[in-house]
C-alpha cells in the first residue's frame, strides 16, 4: 500500500514540533467541544455557559462597535447610499463627509479593487498625520505598510531577518505566542529575556545584555529585540526612562527594535501614559538613520476592538532604500491588505475631533468602554489577590491579568501523570468545573518553576461577578482537595516546562564554542549594526520581483497609468453595509434604501454559519456533500497557498509540480520557503492543456535528482493562459495524483469566468468523486476567492480553502497554522458566503443581481474575443482563445534586433517589448517571463478587465503603435542605436537608456544615426519621431534624422515636427474610423456569454 501523500511525520517539522499558538490551543479546543455539548445536551454540565476569558476579542464578548467607525465603513461599502436623501437622517454629517473623502482617495472609488501593496496612499497619508499628531514628530506615508492586523507585519519582518537557525530574536518572557510561533515557523532561534514579575513585569536592561551576550557566545547572530508595550499577557506599561534605556541598548548593539504597540489606547492608571518608541528615540536626539525601528499597530485592540476587520499597519523607519525594496517585495506577494481594514486603520488614527458632529457620541462610547475595562481589571485583580496561592500584579494597560499560581505538590504530580504542564492541568480542571476559559502561562513562557494563567478583562461587566464567584469556588475546592504541600521547584519542574514549551527552546547553539575575544565581540556588534540587503534572508532576496511591483508596473505607476476595475455587485454591497452598521436594521428608513432580501440576509448572517453556508454552496455547485469542518476561511486565496506551502515544505529537497506559465504566487511562495519548483509546461499548441506525459516526465526527473515531490498545482480556469480544462484531462490529473501520492492543489478562483459554450467548470472534487474516489483516496485542497468571477471584490480579501482527504492529525496541524493569523477578515468571510449563495429566483434582488452578473460576464466575453482577434490579426502575434479567466496570453515573435536590444539593456525581450509598449501607448501589460514560458518564446499577459470603451482604445493603440511601428526601427537599425519616440516625455527615461553606455561598431550604425559614448554630454528630448538631439564634444547642439540626408538646423527640425504631427493626427483619425467605429460593431458583441461573435476578419480589414 502506498504511503499517504500527507501525514504528520512528513509535514514541515517547524510547524509540527515548534509552532504553537496557545491562545487557540488545547484548552480552547476543549471549550468548543463543551459548548457543543451544552447546545446538544442542555443540563449535562455543571454550568450553563462557557465564559471565554482566553483571547483579546472584545466584540465577541459583547463590546459594541464605535458608531462613527461603522457608519463610515458602511458608506464606503455601499457608496450608492451617499446619493440617497434618506442617508442624511441615518448617518452623521461628519461620517458622510469622511466617507466621501476616503472614496475620493481610492482610484475609481473601487473599495473592491486591489490597492497598492503598501495600502491606499490617501489612507497612509491620514495614518501618517495621526502618528504625527500623537507623537509631535513628523511621519511619512512612505514608511507605512498597511496590513491585515499586526500579525502579517510580524511574519513579514521575521521572513526578512531570519536567514537560518543561527539568527536569533530577543523576545520577552512572558510573551504573546505569535512571536515564538513566527520565529519557529521561519526557522530562527528565540533568545528569551525575562520580565521581572517582582517589579511589576519590568524590563531589566541587565538581563537583556546577559541574554544577548550568552547567545552570541553560542554563535547566535541576534538580529532584533521585541518589546510589547503595553504588555501582553502581563498588562504593564513601560516607564519613559525604561524605554530610553531600551532605545540606547538597541542603538549600541545594532539591533532592530520591533515595537508591538497595539494596546496604546488601553491605559488604566493615572501615573502612566503611552509613549511610542519612535517618539522616545526622537526625543533622545536620534534621527531616522540612527535606529532601525518597526512599530506595529492594529484595529483589533484599544477601545475599538475590531478584531474581525483585520486592519493594522507597521511603520518602518531607519532602513536603507535597498532594504525597503525587499520589504515591499515581500508585502507585494500577498497583493494587498483588505480595504475595509485599511479604512478602519485610518479612522482609528484619526477619530472625530471636538466640533465634529459625531464627537460627543464618539467620546461617550470611547470613555465608557475604557472606564468599564478599568473597573473590570480592578475587580478581577482584587479577586485573584484574595485567594490563597494566587498573586497578581496590577493591570496598568492592555486587556489581561497574568496571576501566578502556587500549586500544591499533588497538583504537579497529577499534571505529570496526565503528561501536561501543571498550569495547563489547572486550566483544564477550571474549564471542566466552571466553564471559564483561560490560557495556561506555559503558552506564553514563564520563569522555570513558576506557573500562571492569562485571564482577559473583556467579559461584559455584568458577568464579572459570576466569573469571580465560580473561580473562587473552584480554586478553594481545588486547593483543599489536593492538600497544599511545599512548592515544587528545581530541575524536575524546569524539565517539565521545557518539555511542554519546545518553541521556547529553539535556541540552536554551537556545542563547545569558545568565548570570543573582545575584538571578536565588537566585530559581532558591528556586523549586527549593518542591516543591509546582504544581511537579509537570502530566500527573500531570491524572490523574483512580484509582477504587481515589477519593472513594467513600477514604470506604469510612475507614468500614472491606471485601469478601471469592475464595479462591485449591488446586492452583495448592500448586505455588507448592513452587516458593518447593524443599527441600520433597526431604522424604518432602511426598507426604502435596501432590498428586502438583503435586509433578511444581513439579519440571518452569523459567523458560525458562514462556513455552513459556503459548504451548502459547494454542495449545490457539485451535487455532492460538503462539510463546514473542511472549510478554512482566508484572506483571499494567497493566504491558504502560503499555509499549505508551510505545511508541505521542509527544505530544498521538497518540491511542488507547478504549471508554466502560472501565477507568480506559487513560485514566490516556494522561493520564500526554500522549496524546489518542479515545472511542467502547459501545451500552447493545444490551447494550454495539461500534458500528462510531460507531467510524468518532470515528476520522474525530479525524483531521480532526489527531490521529494509533495504536491501538484493546477490552475483551472488558467491564469495567465485563460484555458478551461476538459473533464477528461481533469480525470487524468486526478489519477496521476492518486497513483503518485501527490497532494492536488486546485486553484479554482476563476470558476465563474467561463466564456464558451463548449466548456464548463468542474471542480476537481467533483471529478474525483465522479470516478469513484472517496475522501480518503486523494488529498485535495481547492482554493477560491471573492477577487475574481463576476464579483471582482479584490480589495475585500475574502476566500476559502476546502481541505479533503487529510487525516485528523494533519488537520490539527493545518488548524495550528491557520490560528497564527487569528482569523481572516469578517467582511471577506461574509462576502465569500454571499458569493457561494447569491440571490435566487423569487428573491427581490434576483432580477438586478442577474442583470448585473450577466452584463459583467457578457462584457468580459466580448472584450476577450476582441483582444484575441486583434492579436491574431497582427503580424508576429498568435493568441489562444480566452475560454475563461480574466486574461489573454499572446505569443510575440520578436525580431532578432529586438532581442539584441533587450540583451544590451540587460532585460528580458518580453520586458523590453512591454516597456516599449507602455512608453509608446500607455498600455500596461505583464511580461510573460514573470509567469514562466517555454525557453525561446515570448509572451505578455493582458487582462480583459478594462471597460468596453477602454478596450476600444487599447485595440486602436495596439494596431497603431505595436509591432509594425514601434519595432520597425529594430528591424532596420542596430540595437546600439537609441531611438527617441515622440511619446516619451520624461528626460529621466532617456537618461536611463544612456546609462548603459551604448556604442557599437561603426559599420552597423544606421545612416546618420548616433551611438552614445562616454563623450556625449547631454541628450535633449525631441517632439518628433525619429529625431535625435545631442551636444557634441564642443557643446554644439546637433539634431540628426534617421534617413539619409544632411544635418538639420533647429528651424528645420521644428518644421519637420509640425508636418509629422499633422500627418500622425490624420492617420490616427483615419485608423480610429476604420477600427474603432466601422471595424467593430460593439453593440453586436453584447450577445449571450455562450455565443461570442468572431471578429477576426473584421479586424483584419
pLDDT at 161: 87
CA distance 663 to 253: 42
CA distance 827 to 74: 11
Using pLDDT thresholds of 50, 70 and 90, give the confidence band for residue 584: low
CA distance 499 to 6: 26
pLDDT digits 0-9 by tens, 423-453: 888 888 888 888 888 888 888 888 998 999 9
CA distance 829 to 741: 32
The residue whose grid cell reads 536620534 is 286
pLDDT value at 524 more than 50: no
Distance of alpha carbon 219 from the chain centroid: 34
pLDDT at 537: 43
pLDDT (mean) for 871-894: 91
Q: What is the DSSP letter of 742?
A: -
Burial of 44 (0-12, 13-18, 19+ CB in 10 A): exposed
CB 293 within 8 A of CB 278: yes
Sequence-separated (6 or more) residues with CB below 8 Å from residue 210:
none
The residue whose grid cell reads 515544505 is 649
Residue 144 bridge partners (DSSP): 315
pLDDT (mean) for 288-301: 91
3-class DSSP state of 804: strand
pLDDT (mean) for 58-63: 80
Residue 258 bridge partners (DSSP): 226, 294
Using pLDDT thresholds of 50, 70 and 90, give the confidence band for residue 305: confident
Phi/psi at 1028 (5° precision): -115, 130
- Looking at the chain, the whole-number percentage of residues with pLDDT higher than 90 is 32
pLDDT at 1056: 64
CA distances from 476 to 388, 425, 454, 463, 926 (A): 8, 16, 19, 20, 68
Q: Which three cell numbers stand for residue 463?
A: 458577568
Lowest mean pLDDT among 682-696, 852-866, 1062-1076: 1062-1076
pLDDT at 573: 63
CA distance 65 to 100: 21
Domains of the chain listed by start with CATH number: 26-55+366-500 (3.90.1150.10), 73-113+566-605 (1.10.287.1970), 121-350 (3.40.640.10), 623-846 (3.40.640.10)
3-class DSSP state of 708: strand
- On average, the pLDDT of the chain sits at 76
pLDDT value at 1096 more than 80: no
Residue that wins the pLDDT comparison between 764 and 1021: 764
Angle at 1007 between CA 1006 and CA 1009, to 5 degrees: 65
CA distance 1003 to 348: 67
Which residue in 960, 963, 921, 922 sits closest to 1073, CA to CA? 960
Helical H segments across 684-799, by residue range: 692-704, 727-740, 764-770
Q: Is the peptide bond before 720 cis (omega within 30 degrees of 0)?
A: yes
CA distance 959 to 574: 42
Angle at 1013 between CA 1012 and CA 1018, to 5 degrees: 65
Which residue in 660, 644, 652, 732 sits closest to 696, CA to CA? 732
Tell me the pTM.
Answer: 0.70
pLDDT at 553: 41
Which residue in 827, 833, 793, 835 sits closest to 311, CA to CA? 827
pLDDT at 124: 93
pLDDT at 790: 85
Phi/psi at 669 (5° precision): -65, -40
Residue that wins the pLDDT comparison between 1012 and 752: 752
* Pairing of the two strands 676-681 and 708-715: unpaired
pLDDT at 119: 87
Using pLDDT thresholds of 50, 70 and 90, give the confidence band for residue 255: very high
Burial of 1017 (0-12, 13-18, 19+ CB in 10 A): exposed
pLDDT value at 968 more than 50: no
Amino acid at each position: 500500500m502506498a504511503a499517504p501523500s500527507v501525514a504528520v511525520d512528513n509535514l514541515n517539522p517547524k510547524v509540527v514540533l515548534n509552532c504553537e499558538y496557545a491562545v487557540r490551543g488545547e484548552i480552547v479546543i476543549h471549550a468548543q467541544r463543551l459548548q457543543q455539548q451544552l447546545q446538544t445536551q442542555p443540563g449535562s454540565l455543571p454550568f450553563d455557559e462557557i465564559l471565554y476569558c482566553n483571547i483579546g476579542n472584545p466584540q465577541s464578548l459583547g463590546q459594541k462597535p464605535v458608531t462613527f467607525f461603522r457608519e463610515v465603513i458602511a458608506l464606503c461599502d455601499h457608496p450608492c447610499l451617499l446619493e440617497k436623501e434618506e442617508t442624511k437622517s441615518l448617518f452623521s454629517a461628519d461620517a458622510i463627509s469622511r466617507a466621501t473623502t476616503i472614496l475620493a482617495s481610492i482610484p475609481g472609488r473601487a473599495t473592491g479593487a486591489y490597492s497598492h501593496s503598501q495600502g491606499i496612499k490617501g489612507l497612509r497619508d491620514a495614518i501618517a498625520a495621526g502618528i504625527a499628531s500623537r507623537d509631535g514628530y513628523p511621519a511619512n506615508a512612505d514608511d507605512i505598510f498597511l496590513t491585515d492586523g499586526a500579525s502579517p507585519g510580524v511574519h513579514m519582518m521575521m521572513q526578512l531577518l531570519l536567514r537560518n537557525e543561527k539568527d536569533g530574536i530577543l523576545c520577552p518572557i512572558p510573551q504573546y505566542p505569535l512571536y515564538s510561533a513566527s520565529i519557529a515557523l521561519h526557522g530562527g532561534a528565540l533568545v528569551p529575556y525575562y520580565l521581572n514579575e517582582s517589579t511589576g513585569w519590568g524590563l531589566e536592561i541587565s538581563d537583556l545584555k546577559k541574554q544577548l551576550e550568552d547567545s552570541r557566545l553560542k554563535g547566535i547572530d541576534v538580529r532584533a529585540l521585541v518589546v510589547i508595550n503595553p504588555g501582553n499577557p502581563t498588562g504593564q506599561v513601560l516607564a519613559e526612562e525604561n524605554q530610553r534605556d531600551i532605545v540606547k541598548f538597541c542603538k549600541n548593539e545594532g539591533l532592530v527594535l520591533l515595537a508591538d504597540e497595539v494596546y496604546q489606547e488601553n491605559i488604566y492608571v493615572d501615573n502612566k501614559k503611552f509613549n511610542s518608541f519612535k517618539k522616545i528615540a526622537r526625543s533622545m536626539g536620534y534621527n531616522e538613520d540612527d535606529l532601525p525601528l518597526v512599530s506595529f499597530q492594529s484595529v483589533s485592540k484599544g477601545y475599538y476592538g475590531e478584531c474581525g476587520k483585520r486592519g493594522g499597519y507597521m511603520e518602518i523607519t531607519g532602513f536603507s532604500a535597498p532594504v525597503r525594496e525587499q520589504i515591499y517585495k515581500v508585502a507585494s506577494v500577498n497583493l494587498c491588505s483588505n480595504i475595509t481594514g485599511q479604512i478602519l486603520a485610518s479612522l482609528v488614527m484619526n477619530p472625530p475631533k471636538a466640533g465634529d458632529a459625531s464627537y460627543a457620541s464618539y467620546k461617550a462610547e470611547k470613555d465608557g468602554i475604557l472606564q468599564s475595562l478599568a473597573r473590570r481589571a480592578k475587580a478581577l485583580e482584587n479577586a485573584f489577590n484574595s485567594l490563597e496561592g494566587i498573586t497578581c500584579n496590577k493591570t496598568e494597560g492592555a486587556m489581561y491579568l497574568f496571576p501566578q499560581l502556587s500549586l500544591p505538590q499533588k497538583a504537579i504530580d497529577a499534571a505529570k501523570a496526565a503528561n501536561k504542564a501543571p498550569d495547563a492541568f489547572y486550566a483544564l480542571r477550571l474549564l471542566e468545573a466552571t466553564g471559564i476559559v483561560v490560557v495556561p502561562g506555559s503558552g506564553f513562557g514563564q520563569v522555570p518553576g513558576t506557573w500562571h494563567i492569562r485571564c482577559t478583562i473583556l467579559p461584559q461587566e455584568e458577568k464579572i461577578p459570576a466569573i469571580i464567584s465560580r473561580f473562587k469556588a473552584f480554586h478553594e475546592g481545588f486547593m483543599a482537595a489536593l492538600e497544599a504541600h511545599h512548592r515544587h521547584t528545581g530541575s524536575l519542574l524546569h524539565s517539565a516546562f521545557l518539555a511542554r514549551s519546545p518553541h521556547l527552546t529553539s535556541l540552536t547553539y554551537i556545542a563547545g564554542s569558545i568565548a570570543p575575544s573582545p575584538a571578536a565581540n565588537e566585530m559581532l556588534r558591528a556586523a549586527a549594526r549593518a542591516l543591509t540587503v546582504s544581511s537579509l534572508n537570502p530566500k527573500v532576496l531570491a524572490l523574483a520581483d512580484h509582477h504587481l511591483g515589477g519593472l513594467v508596473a513600477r514604470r506604469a505607476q510612475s507614468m500614472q497609468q491606471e485601469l478601471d476595475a469592475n464595479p462591485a455587485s449591488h446586492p452583495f454591497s448592500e448586505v455588507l453595509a448592513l452587516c458593518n452598521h447593524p443599527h441600520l436594521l433597526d431604522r424604518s428608513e432602511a426598507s426604502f434604501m435596501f432590498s428586502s432580501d438583503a435586509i433578511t440576509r444581513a439579519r440571518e448572517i452569523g459567523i458560525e454559519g458562514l462556513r455552513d453556508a459556503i459548504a451548502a454552496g459547494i454542495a449545490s455547485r457539485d451535487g455532492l456533500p460538503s462539510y463546514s469542518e473542511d472549510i478554512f476561511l482566508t484572506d483571499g486565496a494567497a493566504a491558504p497557498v502560503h499555509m499549505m506551502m508551510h505545511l508541505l515544505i521542509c527544505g530544498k529537497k521538497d518540491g511542488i509540480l507547478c504549471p508554466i506559465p502560472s501565477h507568480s504566487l506559487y513560485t514566490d511562495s516556494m522561493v520564500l520557503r526554500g522549496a524546489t519548483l518542479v515545472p511542467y509546461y502547459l501545451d500552447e499548441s493545444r490551447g494550454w492543456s495539461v500534458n500528462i506525459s510531460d507531467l510524468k516526465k518532470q515528476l520522474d526527473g525530479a525524483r531521480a535528482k532526489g527531490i521529494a515531490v509533495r504536491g501538484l498545482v493546477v490552475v483551472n480556469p488558467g491564469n495567465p493562459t485563460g484555458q478551461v480544462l476538459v473533464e477528461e484531462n481533469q480525470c487524468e490529473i486526478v489519477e496521476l495524483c492518486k497513483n503518485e501520492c501527490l497532494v492536488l492543489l486546485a486553484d479554482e478562483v476563476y470558476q465563474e469566468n467561463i466564456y464558451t459554450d463548449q466548456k464548463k467548470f468542474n471542480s476537481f472534487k467533483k471529478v474525483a468523486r465522479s470516478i469513484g474516489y472517496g475522501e480518503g483516496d486523494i488529498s485535495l485542497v481547492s482554493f477560491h476567492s471573492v477577487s475574481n468571477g463576476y464579483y471582482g471584490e479584490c480589495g475585500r480579501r475574502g476566500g476559502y480553502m476546502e481541505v479533503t482527504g487529510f487525516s485528523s492529525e494533519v488537520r490539527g496541524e493545518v488548524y495550528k497554522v491557520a490560528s497564527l493569523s487569528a482569523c481572516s477578515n469578517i467582511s471577506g468571510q461574509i462576502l465569500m458566503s454571499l458569493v457561494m449563495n447569491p440571490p435566487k429566483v423569487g428573491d427581490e434582488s434576483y432580477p438586478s443581481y442577474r442583470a448585473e452578473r450577466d452584463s459583467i460576464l457578457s462584457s468580459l466575453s466580448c472584450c476577450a474575443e476582441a483582444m484575441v482577434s486583434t492579436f491574431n490579426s497582427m503580424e508576429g502575434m498568435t493568441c489562444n482563445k480566452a475560454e475563461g479567466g480574466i486574461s489573454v496570453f499572446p505569443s510575440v515573435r520578436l525580431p532578432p534586433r529586438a532581442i539584441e536590444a533587450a540583451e544590451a539593456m540587460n532585460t528580458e525581450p518580453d520586458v523590453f517589448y512591454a516597456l516599449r509598449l507602455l512608453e509608446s501607448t500607455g498600455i500596461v501589460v505583464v511580461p510573460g517571463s514573470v509567469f514562466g514560458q517555454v525557453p525561446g518564446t515570448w509572451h505578455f499577459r493582458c487582462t480583459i478587465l478594462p471597460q468596453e470603451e477602454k478596450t476600444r482604445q487599447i485595440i486602436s493603440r495596439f494596431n497603431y503603435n505595436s509591432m509594425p511601428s514601434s519595432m520597425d526601427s529594430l528591424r532596420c537599425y542596430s540595437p546600439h542605436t537609441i531611438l527617441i519616440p515622440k511619446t516619451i516625455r520624461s528626460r529621466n527615461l532617456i537618461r536611463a537608456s544612456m546609462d548603459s553606455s551604448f556604442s557599437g561598431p561603426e559599420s552597423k550604425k544606421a545612416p546618420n544615426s548616433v551611438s552614445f559614448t562616454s563623450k556625449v554630454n547631454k541628450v535633449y528630448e525631441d517632439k518628433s519621431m525619429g529625431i535625435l538631439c545631442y551636444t557634441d564634444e564642443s557643446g554644439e547642439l546637433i539634431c540628426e534624422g534617421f534617413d539619409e540626408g544632411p544635418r538639420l538646423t533647429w528651424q528645420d527640425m521644428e518644421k519637420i515636427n509640425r508636418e509629422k504631427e499633422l500627418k500622425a493626427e490624420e492617420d490616427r483619425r483615419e485608423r480610429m474610423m476604420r477600427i474603432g467605429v466601422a471595424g467593430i460593431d460593439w453593440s453586436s458583441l453584447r450577445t449571450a456569454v455562450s455565443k461570442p461573435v468572431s471578429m477576426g476578419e473584421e479586424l483584419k480589414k
